[in-house]
Amino acid sequence: MPLVRINLSRDATPQVVCAVSETVYQAMIEIANVPRHDKFQVVTRHTEDELIYPAEGYLGMTYSASIIFIQVTWNAGRTTDVKKAFYKAIADGIHAKTGARKEDILINLVEVTREDWSFGNGEMQYAPEE
């Protein structure tokens, strides 16, 4: 039940957007054990002045105007090893499909509980058993 937010340059082609979207989805299925068809994503394109990052770099990374921000909100409980493999699969996959620099792929995970979701009708589909 992840919700993925992808923020990238307005100059990104539809092919790049598709490759980023599909790479994240595949990593969720293959590494994070997310069910097939659980694909909820919001893609937002930005002008250069709307993607803010440290020009001098951070933690040894240097960034360019082609930076891609990926935020995944998902249920808590995955191990550190799963998260590391997830990050690597996304960076490697996007780089292989688009040529994007791995340094320009920033990924953030937000962990929530199952009852923090409503998939429609104003209902808590994963309400705890009472």
The sheet with strand 40-46 has its strands ordered as 40-46, 3-9, 68-75, 105-112
Q: Phi and psi (nearest 5°) for 23?
A: -65, -45
d(CA 128, CA 79): 23
What is the pLDDT averaged over residues 8-14?
97
Topology classification of domain 3-116? Macrophage Migration Inhibitory Factor (3.30.429)
Tokens linked to 96: 């292989």
Does the pLDDT at position 1 exceed 80?
A: no
> Is the pLDDT assigned to residue 27 strictly greater than 80?
yes
What is the value of pTM for the model shown?
A: 0.92
pLDDT given at position 129: 82
Nearest to 20 by CA among 98, 106, 108: 98
**DSSP structure class, residue 104:** G
The full set of domain ranges for the chain reads 3-116
